[in-house]
Amino acid sequence: MEAQPNNPGRKHRLRRRDLVTNIFSLFSEEFERSDAESIWEIEIPMEGIKNYLQEKHSITYKSNHWVYTQLKRYEEELGVKLFRKDCGGKDKQNFFLAIHQPFRTFFQKQHLYVTQKLKVANGVYDQIKNFALEVKRGEPVTMLMGAGTTLYLLAGILANKSWEDDIRYTIFTHNVGCLREFIDPRVNHRNFEVFTPQGWVDPITYTILERDNALLTSRGYDFIVQGTSCVCEGKLYIESEQERARKEAILKNCSGRKILVLTKHEFCDTPLKGCDPYGSLEDYDCIVVPRSSCEAGVRKRYEILFEEHCRRYSPQIISWNYEILTVSG
């Protein structure tokens, strides 16, 4: 057996999905501690990965290749590349693991900066729950949920809490990842009314695309939650032209509390090449970002840019895991 527990009550192995999630969490932590400007630069020896799993889950993995084989099988299940192996010399038994580059698809990006995204998703969930209990009082919370993997994680939280909270939702979304969470058999479907636009599915972004955004823009919401790919000089950018047009239409035409979810890695010195901005930070009512769990280390360029552009926004809530900034236009 490749993994031995410390005591009979412990698990022998992590499920492949949990194994992958834990390794990506380790990459996020190592990146925050390092002086690297990109997570793609981080390489972790397999012995370090096994030690991390031992410390976090009390599971001992003996074979480097067995762990790597589980990662490869998970990649085969998803149909995308997540990791690359660097032998770094003649010793084929002891090798380094790095994150495959580039990440273009939803199924790749859902793993990147997963620790930070979960913190942000929980920050948004706390806002929604407080609003539901204090303001709506049994009435459905109306939400527009945008594209992206942070929104997918938020949908997972709402789905997992659907029996416990007993909060009703009316949700409009074109995020296929969110839709999958809301129709999962584990969900209390009596508490969810979900609407989607007509159109076609983009397999790269995992969104439903359409030229007419009337379903999404013809009404108001309690919450409008969106992410973005790039923030440069306070302007917001996204790679997809159709998604750019949709985000612009939503910001201009929809009423409701507009929430921008960021991991801070979106802050750049230069905008996305060939892309026009669809809006700015000032178009939102609040910004939700993660708080670092690591001790003080080297400040990244994106952190400096974040502070330069967001220092004028006052903190509304500061938690151990996230920070909510009120945007003053």
Q: Identify which of 235, 288, 229 has the alpha carbon closest to the alpha carbon of residue 257.
A: 288
Mean pLDDT within 104-115: 92
Domain total in the chain: 2
- Establish whether the linkage from the previous residue to 5 is cis, with ω within 30° of 0: no
296 has pLDDT over 90: no
**What's the mean pLDDT when you consider all of the chain?**
90
305 and 247 assigned to the same domain: yes
Rounded CA-CA distance 221/257 in Å is 7
Q: Which residue range forms the structural domain that includes residue 236?
A: 114-326
The last residue of a domain, from among 102, 134, 159: 102
The last residue of a domain, from among 102, 123, 143: 102
205 and 311 assigned to the same domain: yes
Domain with residue 148: its CATH number is 3.40.50.10470
Q: In terms of pLDDT, which residue wins out, 328 or 305?
A: 305
89 has pLDDT over 90: no
134 and 210 assigned to the same domain: yes
Mean pLDDT within 166-186: 95
pLDDT, tens digit, 9 for 90 and up, residues 228-244: 999 999 999 999 898 99
* Out of 69-73, 85-89, 311-315, least confident range: 85-89
> Residue 321: what pLDDT?
92
95 and 118 assigned to the same domain: no
Q: Identify which of 53, 120, 34, 102 has the alpha carbon closest to the alpha carbon of residue 298.
A: 34
Mean pLDDT within 7-28: 82
Element spanning 77, H or E: helix 64-78
Mean pLDDT within 28-40: 88
154-183 as b/e, with b when 16 or more CB fall inside 10 Å? bbbbbbebbeebebbbbbbbbbbbbbebbe
Q: In terms of pLDDT, which residue wins out, 100 or 292?
A: 100
> Residue 15: what pLDDT?
92
128 and 256 assigned to the same domain: yes
9 and 126 assigned to the same domain: no
> Residue 7: what pLDDT?
46
Q: Which residue has the tokens 């038994």?
A: 93
The last residue of a domain, from among 79, 102, 125: 102
196 and 216 assigned to the same domain: yes
Give a yes or no: residue 109 inside a domain: no
132 and 204 assigned to the same domain: yes
> Residue 90: what pLDDT?
58
158 and 92 assigned to the same domain: no
Domain with residue 80: its CATH number is 1.10.10
The CA-based dihedral angle spanning residues 151, 154, 155, 159, taken in that order and rounded to the nearest 10 degrees: 180
> Residue 9: what pLDDT?
45
Q: List all residues 6 or more positions away from 130 whose beta carbon is below 8 Å from its beta carbon.
A: none
